[in-house]
Amino acid sequence: MRLVAVAVPVPFLDLLTYNVPDAMPLPPVGARVRVPVGARTMTGCVVRHDAVVEEGTDVRDVAEAVDAEPLLPSPIVELCRWVADYYVAGIGDALAVAMPPGARGRATAFKKRRTATLSALGLDAARGASQNVESAHARNLTTRQSAALEILLAAPGGLPTSELRDRGVTPAVLAALAKRGLVALSDERDDRDPFERAAMADVVHDATRQLTGEQQRASDELFALADAGEFRVALLHGITGSGKTEIYLRLADRVRRSGRQVLLMVPEIALTPALAALVRGAFGDRVAIQHSALSAGERHDQWHRIRRSEIDVVVGTRSAVFAPLDRIGLIVVDEEHDSSYKQEETPRYHGRDVAIMRGSRERALVVLGSATPSMESYNNAASGKYARITLERRVLDRPLAAVRLVNMRTEYAEQGPEVVISRDLAAAIGDRVARGDQALILLNRRGYSTAVFCRQCGDSFECPNCSVSLTVHRTRGGNDRTGWRARCHYCNYSILVPTACRKCAAPYLEHAGFGTERIEEQLRERFPEARVGRVDRDSVRRKGALTEILSKFAGRELDVLVGTQMIAKGHDFPGVTLVGVISADVGLGLADFRASERTFQLLTQVAGRAGRGERAGEAIVQTLYPEHYSIQLACRQDYPAFFDREVAYRRAMRYPPFFALINGVVRGRTFDDAMQQAREIVRRLEPATAAGRFTVLGPAPAPLGRLRGEHRVQFFLKGTKRADMRNALMQVVAGMPEIRRRLTIDVDPLSVL
Ligand code: ADP
Ligand code: ZN
């Protein structure tokens, strides 16, 4: 018998062993095969040839070989095995991340983009459609199906299925809806150049530019590391505006000339279109781009260009870490502290950490760049595990923005509790608008208001499926409050905001809490002459919308840009001389061990967007806690002081980076059911905890106690030996097969909320 071990896309499932029939050539590692799993046939991937089975075991045959050549190069297959192991995921789940889109099915090439539109619902008015959706509820649709209809309702032009998938609508849900005639699926050819959308025409890389002394020193050190051709991790800690991008480009060029390939990872390409354009400008055609906002067809084409070795440089988001490059010499992880490197669905990998693992397997230099490194990376640099390279000055000796704090308690006392924009901030905005400078205004909370309640009876709008209150969004143009929607940010459930209370009919509905939409409204009212734009997940739903707004702002067609953390990242807008932070405290009150770190990073990064041109910049930060250390130290932009303070807290409290955490969440139809299962898992972990290998905290109700109609109970493993913790957990899961579909495991969670 010739045996192969095959990975299939089933949660938590280990490799399955199959026999290759005599007539079939042995499929190589990395090739796809069709195999029987239970009563079904699935597309899997060959992972090993050295499978063994006990005598007498019934081994089924591979049904069909899909590829004669490996689809995935074997180093990528091995990397995925590590991911599955480290993150306690099924090997099939891990491999699925590395596959090009469409690879799970039988078709290997498609250049079409499939679009889904709401159909058969009489779409002449959104209102009509909304009633139809409501009646669809009555037609016994599942929560997922109604959620899909809700999303499509907001997009009369339809949405590509790839985008729908990113928003949680699976092809199966679409197929079910299509079968019922509620959704129409259509294919269109799509061969647009992904750079067209990503690029902003006016950024050009000037390769002859004189480096600053600091940049030169940093480049020399990195060149030496790259030339050694060995695995090494270097932390490039450079303050905002110190010119890190220029260093990446020169280093990439050097590595490329030496015959090896470069992977440049960024948190979100759409947020840094200038970088993609710079790289394309610097390296021409042999550049590929990889990120989830591309259509499936685009991603597919780019992936195969990389696989055919037509590429020297890949720019991409976290999943690009699996790009099938075969001569990788350099991996740059820009803004390495950014939380979007962590995938929040199975397999819950961290792109930066996988990059380091890949670098070590393929002997590449890994450069982590940031002005505000993660505690993990800085700690490794401080201990000498990583090389540390520091840039302490901005290019051309531009000063950092001067940061001023506004104590909102004083402001409330003097101006009343309704104040959102303080006098100082308003004056500064007015000043910029009058001078023709630009301002960025940050509030890390979207929507118009964050809760609605009745002043008479106290009834509030909670999501029926999740334990959160609904966020109010104003629909396009609606200035009177009719037609506003209250929406759940987790499951997308929404209702029209009524004009009177649903319970007691009193007309006293109060909006509490404010989000970006309210700031935008206030700015328009107070500065009618200013051109105001907004960037948050809601305003950039449409493909290309984000690039459009950012290019407008870069082209000085907007004066003020309001937004969530999306505006704090990496941008380089020389016209910005003012950054306003509406509430520095969003997130600070959360009982999460990373709350201070996140606040420090966000404030430092957003303040770093000011004063990048000829004129000096200023930042005004509104807060209720002006004395909090993460706010104080962010104002002084003093990273080392913040690290010292924070690291002492982490050590004392036994948190990462000193202790590892694994989070488990058990879902159930009732709370008791979820709790009972979680208790059983914890009970089975007892022998390991009794042996002192790690500790277990919980089970306890998860902070988000209900989500999409399910109850959630969580527990934590905490210790210094991750492998022990993982193995114990994996053993327990293996002994409770029925728990697989109801358990989520998160190794190194970014948040404990
Ligand atoms: P960082 O990523 O470190 O925040 P950037 O790489 O965005 O900084 O650089 C900040 C600005 O300085 C950019 O506009 C960049 O073009 C410019 N810049 C970088 N290096 C130089 C240099 N050596 N001389 C002049 N300008 C530079
Ligand atoms: Zn919900």
The residue type found at 111 is: K
- What's the gap in Å between 242 CA and the centre of ligand 1? 6
- The CA-atom distances, in angstroms, between 446 and each of 450, 461, 473, 519, 533 are 8, 17, 9, 10, 14
Residues 296-326 have pLDDT tens digits of 788 888 898 999 999 999 999 999 999 999 9
Ligand 1 atom nearest to CA at 608: 4
Ligand 1 pocket, residue 677 CB under 6 Å? no
Ligand 1 pocket, residue 473 CB under 6 Å? no
**Protein residue closest via CA to atom 1 of ligand 1:** 241
Ligand 1 pocket, residue 370 CB under 6 Å? no
pLDDT confidence bin for 250, thresholds 50/70/90: very high
pLDDT the model gives residue 510: 83
Ligand in nearest proximity to the CA of 150: 2
Residue 132 has pLDDT above 50, yes or no: no
Q: What is the mean pLDDT of the chain?
A: 86
- What's the gap in Å between 708 CA and the centre of ligand 2? 6
**Protein residue closest via CA to atom 22 of ligand 1:** 211
Ligand 1 atom nearest to CA at 239: 3
Residue 18 has pLDDT above 70, yes or no: yes
Ligand in nearest proximity to the CA of 146: 2
What are the DSSP E strand ranges found in 523-617?
532-535, 560-563, 576-581
Which residue has tokens 């290309």? 544
Which of 394, 396, 572, 601 is the pocket-test mutation for ligand 1 (most atoms within 8 Å of CB)?
572
Neighbour-count burial of 340, counting CB atoms closer than 10 A to its CB (0-12 exposed, 13-18 middle, 19+ buried): middle
Ligand 1 pocket, residue 242 CB under 6 Å? yes
Ligand in nearest proximity to the CA of 470: 2
Residue 156 has pLDDT above 80, yes or no: no
Which of 202, 204, 211, 246 is the pocket-test mutation for ligand 1 (most atoms within 8 Å of CB)?
246
Ligand in nearest proximity to the CA of 218: 1
**pLDDT mean over 384-413:** 90
- What's the gap in Å between 706 CA and the centre of ligand 2? 8
Ligand 1 pocket, residue 273 CB under 6 Å? no
Ligand in nearest proximity to the CA of 490: 2
Which of 272, 368, 394, 395 is the pocket-test mutation for ligand 1 (most atoms within 8 Å of CB)?
395
The residue type found at 375 is: M
Ligand 1 atom nearest to CA at 212: 23
**pLDDT mean over 424-440:** 95
Ligand 1 pocket, residue 395 CB under 6 Å? yes
- What's the gap in Å between 271 CA and the centre of ligand 2? 27
- Per the rule left: phi > 0, alpha: psi between -120 and 50, beta: everything else, 229 is left
- What's the gap in Å between 467 CA and the centre of ligand 2? 7
- Lowest mean pLDDT of 154-168, 238-252, 621-635, 729-743, name the range: 154-168
pLDDT the model gives residue 105: 47
Ligand 1 pocket, residue 369 CB under 6 Å? no
**Protein residue closest via CA to atom 20 of ligand 1:** 243
pLDDT the model gives residue 129: 40
Ligand in nearest proximity to the CA of 709: 2
- What's the gap in Å between 743 CA and the centre of ligand 2? 20
Ligand 1 pocket, residue 604 CB under 6 Å? no
Ligand 1 pocket, residue 246 CB under 6 Å? yes
Neighbour-count burial of 691, counting CB atoms closer than 10 A to its CB (0-12 exposed, 13-18 middle, 19+ buried): exposed
Q: 718 or 588: which carries more pLDDT confidence?
A: 718
Ligand 1 pocket, residue 575 CB under 6 Å? no
| CA atoms 22, 28, 31, 36: torsion sign | positive
Residues 658-717 have pLDDT tens digits of 999 999 999 999 999 999 999 999 999 999 888 888 999 989 999 889 998 999 999 999
Ligand 1 pocket, residue 547 CB under 6 Å? no
Give the number of C-alpha atoms closer than 13 A to the C-alpha of residue 551, restricted to the C-beta side. 16
Residues 50-108 have pLDDT tens digits of 888 888 788 999 999 988 899 999 999 999 999 999 999 889 989 989 988 766 544 33
Ligand 1 pocket, residue 240 CB under 6 Å? yes
**pLDDT mean over 359-370:** 97
Rg (CA), the chain: 27
Which of 212, 245, 247 is the pocket-test mutation for ligand 1 (most atoms within 8 Å of CB)?
245
pLDDT confidence bin for 606, thresholds 50/70/90: confident
Ligand 1 pocket, residue 393 CB under 6 Å? no
pLDDT confidence bin for 187, thresholds 50/70/90: low
Helices within 228-295 (DSSP H only): 244-257, 273-283
- What's the gap in Å between 84 CA and the centre of ligand 1? 39
**pLDDT mean over 584-608:** 85
Ligand in nearest proximity to the CA of 246: 1
Ligand 1 pocket, residue 244 CB under 6 Å? yes
pLDDT the model gives residue 191: 35
DSSP H or E run through 182: none
Which residue has tokens 């480096």? 211
- What's the gap in Å between 705 CA and the centre of ligand 2? 11
- Lowest mean pLDDT of 2-11, 71-80, 374-383, name the range: 2-11
**174: Cβ–Cβ under 8 A, 6 or more apart, which residues?**
116, 148, 161, 164, 183, 185
Ligand in nearest proximity to the CA of 494: 2
Does 498 sit behind a cis peptide bond, omega within 30 degrees of 0 on the bond before it? no
**pLDDT mean over 738-743:** 88
Residue 173 has pLDDT above 90, yes or no: no
DSSP H or E run through 381: helix 375-382
- What's the gap in Å between 468 CA and the centre of ligand 2? 7
